[in-house]
Structure 1
Amino acid sequence: MDFQLSEEQREFRAVLREFVDNEIIPVARDWEQSGRYPTEIVKGMREMGLFGITIPEQYGGLDLDPVSFALVFEEIARGWMGIAGILGSHSLACRMIAMRGTEEQKKRYLPGLASGERRTGIGLTEPDAGTDLQGIRTTARLEGDHYVVNGTKMWITNARYADPLPVLVKTDPTATPAHKGMSILLVDAGSEGYEITKDIPKLGYKGTESCEIVLDNVRVPKENLLGGVEGRGMQHALSALEWGRVNIAARSVGIAQRAHDEALAYAGQRKAFGKPIGEFQAVQLQLATMATQLQAARLMAYFAADAVRRGRADGETGMAKIFCSEVALQASIEAMKVHGGYGYSTEYEVERLYRDAILMSIGEGTNDVLRTVVAKSLLRGETVVR
């Protein structure tokens, strides 16, 4: 068994790490606090080709393997988790179009999405439907050559930049079970009746917008039905969310790594009773626990990513997302404890890490719901632990 990254992956990680160290970490705290949009960072990611990480090479993308995909989100989240969100929603939507779209849809959208000239997100969540996607109320009624879409979407990352935005709708609201009547439409920006009504204030996950979108009799051409066949929307969404759980697990590792780095550095600098606090056994125990959990989470994330490479991996990605997100939250709390009173100050990084870590246990399905996903995968024999 080889637990090492390939030489190509190590070189790729080094490039990512240099970008994060030079372009993100120096500005993250100030820009987050001021609410400044990270335009320059987005430009840098475009120049590196990162908007094409889940797009096949024939359309101009990098088509990364799942472990390299995880490296992207681990490193960027180490600098600023909100930036990883900009790339995350875009990448999941691109993979969905690349894997499920018609050839015409791929040719029309993917080259621009790969270059970053276009951006996208994914319109799933609604005011009354989050983890339970079958509970969505947005409908799409076919009238001639167009679908007429009505509904509201919430918490949409990249909403102000998405073109197109894949939107989960009910093309047959009477279908039983509900998922058989669900489809995804690619809604072009600027469509009449498509309105971004507000930005949603958040505790953390800043740097990217999270918006409410209202669709009021939006007419979407029939050829924008993802895959060209109705009733496949839930399948399309779930296939993207499997990569999404790798994304969240990797982001969590990035947060935990930064928390560990900040705590370790502070323990060597801060003095109490005449010596660095890192010489006190109580602090040493905290640092050792953080490092141990961090390394376990990293291995879990990479293992889940490799499982995705081999095929469907609901159980493995669910376990990784659960474990890594909980490690990230605990690491951020421990880092705050090591910093003492300064950990509660916005002048230091660790309070932001804490605010960002909380979302990791909620995004891409809450941890409690994912535990049921893992359990069902075990009971079906799809995931085997031995």
Structure 2
Amino acid sequence: MTDVAAPPVTPDLAAAAAALDVGQAVIDSAVGRLAEHGIDANQVLAYDVAHAAAALMCGRGLLDYGSKGDDEGRITAAFIADALADLGAKLFGREAEWGVANDALDNARDFVATYRASDFLASLANTDGPRHLGDDFEMVQDAFRRFAEDKIMPIAEEIHRHNGDIPEEIVTGLAEMGAFGLSIPEEYGGYASGGASDYIAMVVATEELSRGSLGAGGSLITRPEILARALEAGGTEEQKQEWMPKLATAEVMNAVAVTEPDFGSDVAGVKVTATQTDGGWLLNGVKTWCTYGARADVLMVLARTDTDRSVGHRGLSMFIVPKERGDGHGFELTQENDSGGGKMEGRPIDTIGYRGMHSYEVAIENWFVPADNLIGLDGGEGRGFYYQMAGFENGRLQTAARAVGVMQAALEAARDYANNRVVFGENIAEYQLTQAKLARMAVIIQGARQYSYEVAKLMAKGEGAMEASMVKAYVCKAAEWVTREAMQIHGGMGYAEEYTVSRLFVDARVLSIFEGADEVLCVKVIARQLVGRHNADK
């Protein structure tokens, strides 16, 4: 058995960068194979490459963070070593499929051996590392952390266990803090000035509220995001002036109605129709997974305005659909119109987690929408798919921030339990296995957090669409492992609802499903973008 040398106090970041280059060469080879042989014919490879590339990209984004101190360096080295080990697990025995030699990762072996060593990992059990936020962002963090701890955490378990509604005082409290205006431009009553600070503030606030509760906190302030971005992408000036100030103050809360029973991520197949009538449009059809649909004052509905289904997504338009607030456990609404009356019925979909928001299947029959509520008016007809995508890009970054908040809560719960649980005469926090688990959790969380900040900066420059997809894919899958291990550290009590960690586990499970299901995101979005960059660089 070969002894592994103790890692230096200050990790060698040049060696970390070199190890990443070794891994990146493997990724590049596999992407070349996908470009040559096709993504759809090699979906397993595409999926694995997307996740491996996302992890390495997060690792590369950590290099600057790692240069800021010893703890930061150790976290960075551990994260990169873990990402390379995961790549190795995907690669082993499939080298030919990836287009590389059997020894493709050998030059990274020593680095991985050093920074995945059990004792090294265990030494990081209580090392979170500083966030290196500026003073302004620390104020944002402190404000939203206090709100989460004072207002959300005391009710989070009750909402989860009883599938309750989010109390209105939570909505009004966040509105008073300006939370719903974080993504709304200043000229429309919000706080966004157009720089990187807008995006980072949203990431910070979302994480802290999600640490309190995914359903009753972090996801609540993301409500305006997709509609606001759709309006920015295609709305008329009058539409922006009408809706954005109301979104910023929570005078109007919105929900998104895009998914349909037979069409999830494949939105080009949308069947809900919008037919022109005097003064507007009549909507007919069924939407599903409309989260917060009962409480919402308007639905953002993607509907088919061109009955020729062969035109695909080019026949879709986006509507702002006003409605009355309904009951959280189901609603039936009616309206009078020239067609004899419109109907909208929301059937709640019971879920194992992510409670408080409530999701619905919404049946719409002859629901009248004024002509002014077609985003972009005549110029927006057939552009709905693009407006939706503009909103979802930012939504993926926010989802990553939500995942980080859930993971942080899980880590804190696991540490607290480990330090107070005695097994065989010793706190379980003293066992190497527990320490290694806690360390890997902390490393993953800080890596995900720091890369989210980097993606936020890219998006502020109008870039980072692929990176937002990648950070979402990596972080949301990681959240399942982190919350699972936090639950495991609790032992039998982790399976009991009286401990918060059980809620965190079931909440984390939804993260790889919404804002783009993991498989679709990896195969249809990330892999295609990687191949696109590969072809452009040839």
More off after superposition, 158-167 vs 265-274: 158-167
**Equivalence map 1:306-345=2 (5 Å):** 306-345=457-496
The 2-side partners of 1:160 and 1:206 are apart by 13
SS at match of 1:266: helix
SS at match of 2:302: strand
TM-score where L is the length of structure 2:
0.69
Q: Quick one: which of 338, 342, 345 aligns to 1:196?
A: 345
| Aligned equivalent of 2:528 | 376
Unaligned runs of 5+ in 2: 1-62, 66-131, 325-333, 336-341
Q: Quick one: which of 362, 369, 373 aligns to 1:224?
A: 373
| Aligned equivalent of 2:207 | 74
Contact 1:377 1:383 in 2 (8 A): no
Q: Quick one: which of 185, 195, 199 aligns to 1:56?
A: 185
SS at match of 1:359: coil
SS at match of 2:254: coil
The 1-side partners of 2:208 and 2:534 are apart by 31
SS at match of 2:262: coil
The 2-side partners of 1:130 and 1:381 are apart by 27
Q: Which amino acid aligns with 1:88?
A: T
Give 1 or 2 for the bigger CA radius of gyration: 2
Is 1:273 matched up with 2:428?
A: no
Number of aligned pairs?
385
* 1:273-295 superposed Cα distances (whole Å, 9 cap, x missing partner): 22211011111111111111111
More off after superposition, 197-206 vs 58-67: 58-67
Q: Which amino acid aligns with 1:7?
A: D
| Aligned equivalent of 2:261 | 127
Is 1:29 matched up with 2:157?
A: yes
Contact 1:52 1:114 in 2 (8 A): yes
**Equivalence map 1:206-217=2 (5 Å):** 206-217=355-366
Contact 1:98 1:110 in 2 (8 A): no
Unaligned runs of 5+ in 1: none
SS at match of 2:255: coil
Q: Quick one: which of 169, 174, 178 aligns to 2:303?
A: 169
Is 1:86 matched up with 2:238?
A: no
Q: Quick one: which of 247, 256, 266 aligns to 2:407?
A: 256
**Equivalence map 1:106-117=2 (5 Å):** 106-117=240-251
Contact 1:79 1:258 in 2 (8 A): yes
Q: Which amino acid aligns with 1:35?
A: N
RMSD: 1.9
Contact 1:90 1:122 in 2 (8 A): no
1:177 is displaced (CA, Å) by 3.6
Q: 1:2 to 1:289 in 2, by over 3 A?
A: closer
The 1-side partners of 2:224 and 2:292 are apart by 8
1:94 is displaced (CA, Å) by 2.5
The 2-side partners of 1:174 and 1:382 are apart by 35
Contact 2:225 2:391 in 1 (8 A): no
Q: Which amino acid aligns with 2:464?
A: A
* 1:276-332 superposed Cα distances (whole Å, 9 cap, x missing partner): 110111111111111111111112222222221121423101110111001111001
* 1:192-235 superposed Cα distances (whole Å, 9 cap, x missing partner): 22413311101101011211212111121211110112011000
Taking only the aligned residue pairs, the percentage that are identical comes to 36
| Aligned equivalent of 2:147 | 19
TM-score where L is the length of structure 1:
0.95
